[in-house]
Structure 1
């Protein structure tokens, strides 16, 4: 059950969606749709608003980031445009053809050659090429971290891996659906991708964020704290 509410934070009136559920703790989420506050069924409105106010700084900062993103121009997809792939510049090259993608290495900057018919949706062609590249790369990193996990947690089966376009998560792990990684991680530096993969592999041992879970992540990825902090600062190009 959800309801639309508002309150004043600082000098701003903030609208939010209040959602009640069987969860045991209060939680906040901000995405392109705004602020969502999730609370247990028995928590009153006054307690919920006190919780919101205790996170005023975080809320205002995140809302400002989403507002800035909404005002930014769309990613340039013209021939010669540059976007990051695994943290390094990649130059787009467009040719006439049937939508195939070809990666060209060995140049000062990697190039992605995309063939498109006249009037074709270039953003869709680019997205498909990046997703195919991402899935292949992520599969290799998953295999690497499962190999590392075998040293101290043997016998865990390889989960199914899929891509996601979730608004608020870089990755997820479920006993039912396996591991899902956000395809836009393909823009991030390898160390940040590795942290997300290690995080989700850690959930194969502990489906929570307990101290034991973080010890597993630390064993897999010793620099996870630095990577997590760096990932929180990253912005993704809109395609």
Structure 2
């Protein structure tokens, strides 16, 4: 929509609430909306606060864009919250995980002309998908639900999603984080198998799966900003 001559995108979040609300952060404008409020009323509400929205959007600090991670000999890559050292070797385009020794080593065994970044990405995503499936299955067993399809995501603003059609999708970059934070995201998405909303009943399911979810949400926001961009 256009506010004071400026095109403004927004994210709509419906929930069990009584009033509309506006929030502006690094991701932009988010509108909290009661379940039964129509889009026409939502945009009328935004327009009634146009001056505030435009002012706050302009006042946001410029986002800090971390540099792209360069896979080079000796570089450090976080994996499950631990620092792994990269080794660039020769081979048939395989990723080798060396856990023994004084420090864990992730070796990229490249064939001649191989792309180290793509090989690293493939290795991390393969490990991520395997782990995520195991964790989703463990949480599903706790609530007596069958294991849904589990896939990877590269969404820009969401760590995970749950759909009755496509199952659970988790952002592959979660593999950089400690298992405790991964489990919070998994618990959140598995809870959607019971409640496809963010109602109090939904958060009750989350709490039953992950009691300290509030602290994990805060830690996830902080940790997410420091992850490497591959």
Judging changes above 3 Å, is the alpha-carbon distance between structure 1 residues 162 and 27 closer, same or farther for their aligned structure 2 residues? farther
Identify unmatched segments of 5+ residues in structure 1.
8-14, 151-155
Aligned to 1:195: 184
1:102–1:112 Cα contact (<8 Å) kept: yes
Specify which of 56, 65, 68 is matched with residue 64 of structure 2. 68
Judging changes above 3 Å, is the alpha-carbon distance between structure 1 residues 99 and 52 closer, same or farther for their aligned structure 2 residues? same
After superposition, the CA RMSD in angstroms is 3.0
Aligned to 1:108: 102
Judging changes above 3 Å, is the alpha-carbon distance between structure 1 residues 169 and 84 closer, same or farther for their aligned structure 2 residues? same
Aligned to 2:89: 95
TM-score (norm 2): 0.81
Task: List structure 1 runs of 4+ shifted beyond 6 angstroms.
Answer: 26-31
Aligned to 1:118: 112
Task: Spell out, residue by residue over 1:105-141, the C-alpha distance to the aligned partner (whole angstroms, 9 max, x if none).
Answer: 1223221111113332211111000000101111111
Q: Alignment length, in residue pairs?
A: 215
1:17–1:37 Cα contact (<8 Å) kept: no
| CA displacement at 1:51 relative to structure 2 | 6.4
1:20–1:40 Cα contact (<8 Å) kept: no
Aligned to 1:11: none
Task: Spell out, residue by residue over 1:61-96, the C-alpha distance to the aligned partner (whole angstroms, 9 max, x if none).
Answer: 5x53xx211xx3321311110011000001111111
Judging changes above 3 Å, is the alpha-carbon distance between structure 1 residues 148 and 108 closer, same or farther for their aligned structure 2 residues? farther
Question: 1:114 is paired with a residue of what secondary structure?
Answer: strand
Which structure ranks higher in relative contact order (CA pairs < 8 Å, sequence separation ≥ 6)?
2
1:138 aligns to 2:132 (yes or no)? yes
Judging changes above 3 Å, is the alpha-carbon distance between structure 1 residues 213 and 20 closer, same or farther for their aligned structure 2 residues? closer
Aligned to 2:47: 46
2:4–2:50 Cα contact (<8 Å) kept: no
Alpha-carbon separation, structure 2, partners of 1:27 and 1:47: 11
Q: How does 1:1-239 map to 2 (within 5 A)?
A: 3=1, 5=3, 16-18=7-9, 35=28, 40-42=39-41, 43-44=43-44, 46-49=47-50, 52=53, 56=56, 64=62, 67-69=63-65, 72-150=66-144, 156-234=145-223, 235=225, 236-239=227-230
Judging changes above 3 Å, is the alpha-carbon distance between structure 1 residues 20 and 177 closer, same or farther for their aligned structure 2 residues? closer
Judging changes above 3 Å, is the alpha-carbon distance between structure 1 residues 164 and 30 closer, same or farther for their aligned structure 2 residues? farther
Question: 2:162 is paired with a residue of what secondary structure?
Answer: strand
1:91–1:110 Cα contact (<8 Å) kept: yes
Identify unmatched segments of 5+ residues in structure 2.
32-37
TM-score (norm 1): 0.78
